[in-house]
Copies of this chain bind each other. A is one copy, B any other.
């Protein structure tokens, strides 16, 4: 489906155009005319006898007597549905439908939604909505929304599951210069055009150099990820997703009637695709502004020039806390800088460089030009506070002029409000991203730099797993099938399955009578671990079902009697005891994104510490490294307090194999491996549970 004609029509018919200036049918008509759309516009209202806004009103689409490119339906749900027949007769393929009253209102609207879907399919329509506010195309001056303020033409393509967020952005842009939409697309219920379709359209749009999205859910996780990955290589995509918390999700479900997946999974999907997730509306706007104005830093070294020590120090804290670097400039540059300011001035040459309260525009200029030559610098932030004789606009001019001759970005941070307003305007007029406070910028730049580090990299996904899955298919199927009536496979079988897919395990011996102990001890060797064998107990440790450091036959027998003799269970597992640093590895199935693999700190504190990280299966080794770096497990893997580093390539393969296992056998619901021990370069799973779908 191409959306070219939908978003770039030559002719538009508005159905339901109205005299009443409060009605959408009036507002949209007025916007289309006022904002200067150069194509043909047709007004349609079967009841309107006279002209509206000085324009003829047709009684029907048919009465126009020609095919139009786009029909905007500003009529309620009930008449809108049969109107698709008219549209089909006209030969038009593109529709914007504002009306609410579909699936978003719950049971009452489901029938409407179904009827709508049916006609969309039957007539092969590109329908935007329903329950949306339309779209804006600033280049062609098409505004099919009711938003009367005009967003200046810009380079931000914005796709939104909420019309209101678009309205907030338009209202904000309307008070600013050069910052605006290329397209704003309100998705509404996404009956046919969803986030992926809109993404694909913006991917190929040359006006758009950054894509912003507000999402509550996605239609298809895999399609979305694939597309996002492709686009992220071409242009940045910044996503503001709601539903981080359960309360948020609840509201989201009732809002658009969509299915909201587990937020951690979305987070992983977005990251893995090279897109950026914004943490708040403010950060979202900051990122869009940074990208929209073009230049972004190529390195994480930030140089701060300031006329205020205090704010410089606060900003320095913020830079460092966000993982950026603040290094002192080279002695040569220091000397240059010193010679460029008045001899008596005791400027501080540390980074932040304090040009002192009386810094003139000329001194700022000297300092910027000197420091920009420093090779290692990613960006310069110019902090200015309005003091006694601060040359605010002169300094702005200096920055604007200098910025023209350098590739590296300069970020002015002019603090205050009354005196600095004009300077802010000047920066926008010259497409320089400026800020009214230091806070927030570093966090956004950290994300910009993260993106630069992940895109354009080879992203090979290990395929070895498939082979071992093939080789042991029969055995795995047998084990899974055998246990399909139980909620989970027992420890012995779970470990066997892992072995079949190439995951190293420490095997167990099942013991149900005292006579079996001696041979099992001989087979495994001391020290031993004894674990209760039970189909119902989920937390073995909590019921005293795990004994460790067993070193004598006497201890083993005593342990066995304590568990089996007291009727707690019919048997125990004996296992050679393993020591090392513990990892947790798991996999679950997400309805939208498929298999999700989890890794983190293992042992009994997994739940307490929640040091875990997620990825959608499969993923590359590079992605695995980033994944590991997100938790403190990373330091354990690299060798911690005397323990040698683990074989991380091997660990990556374990994660891939566990993911492939789940991907191939849909009967598996979840896999919990806890712990996997890292013993120097060896890995060993000692406990595992494979949970089977009950349905």
Interface residues of A (CB under 8 A from B): 22, 24, 27, 100, 105, 146-147, 149, 160-165, 167-168, 170-172, 174-176, 214, 216, 240, 242-248, 250-252, 254-256, 280-282, 307-314, 316-321, 326, 346, 348, 350-352, 354, 357, 385-389, 415-421, 437-440, 527, 539, 541-543, 548-549, 551-552, 555, 604, 607-609, 611, 632, 635-636, 640-642
Contacts and interface: CB of A to CB of B under 8 A. Distances in A.
Contact of A242 (B165, B314, B439): B314
A14 to B, nearest CB: 15
A168 B549 contact: no
Given A164-B308, A171-B386, A309-B256, A541 B642 contact: yes
A308 B387 contact: no
Nearest to A150: B418
B164 A307 contact: yes
The list of the 4 closest CB pairs from A to B, nearest first, reads: A162-B310, A171-B416, A164-B308, A542-B642
A417 B256 contact: no
A440 B282 contact: yes
B354 A255 contact: yes
27 contacts: A100-B346, A146-B388, A161-B310, A162-B310, A162-B311, A163-B310, A163-B387, A164-B311, A164-B387, A165-B310, A168-B386, A172-B415, A172-B416, A172-B418, A174-B417, A242-B314, A247-B351, A251-B354, A255-B313, A281-B437, A539-B641, A539-B642, A541-B642, A543-B642, A548-B549, A609-B609, A609-B632
A311 B281 contact: yes
Contacts of A216: 310, 313
A245 B168 contact: no
A350 B250 contact: yes
Nearest to A162: B310
Contacts of A252: 309, 313
A678 to B, nearest CB: 14
A176 B418 CA distance: 9
Residue of A174, A250, A313, A420 most packed against chain B (CB within 10 A): A313
Contact of A164 (B162, B176, B385): B385
Contacts of A312: 251, 255
A144 to B, nearest CB: 13
Given A216-B310, A255-B313, A172 B388 contact: no
Contact of A318 (B280, B386, B438): B280
A74 to B, nearest CB: 11
A246 to B, nearest CB: 8
A539 B149 CA distance: 67
Given A245-B316, A350-B254, A176 B387 contact: no
A316 B248 contact: yes
Given A281-B437, A609-B632, A636-B608, A313 B175 contact: no
Given A282-B437, A539-B641, 17 more contacts: A22-B388, A24-B388, A163-B387, A165-B310, A174-B419, A175-B417, A175-B418, A216-B310, A242-B310, A242-B316, A251-B348, A255-B309, A539-B642, A542-B642, A608-B632, A608-B640, A609-B632
A638 to B, nearest CB: 11
B248 A320 contact: yes
Contact of A171 (B244, B248, B307, B419): B419
A371 to B, nearest CB: 16
Given A242-B317, A310-B161, A543-B642, A282 B608 contact: no
A314 to B, nearest CB: 5
Contact of A27 (B240, B352, B388): B388
Contacts of A320: 245-248
A247 B324 CA distance: 11
A174 B415 CA distance: 13
A175 to B, nearest CB: 4
A349 to B, nearest CB: 9
A189 B384 CA distance: 22
Contacts of A240: 314
Nearest to A26: B388
A318 B539 CA distance: 34
B171 A541 contact: no
Contacts of A149: 386, 418-419
A255 B310 CA distance: 8
B632 A254 contact: no
A313 B243 contact: yes
A190 B419 CA distance: 29
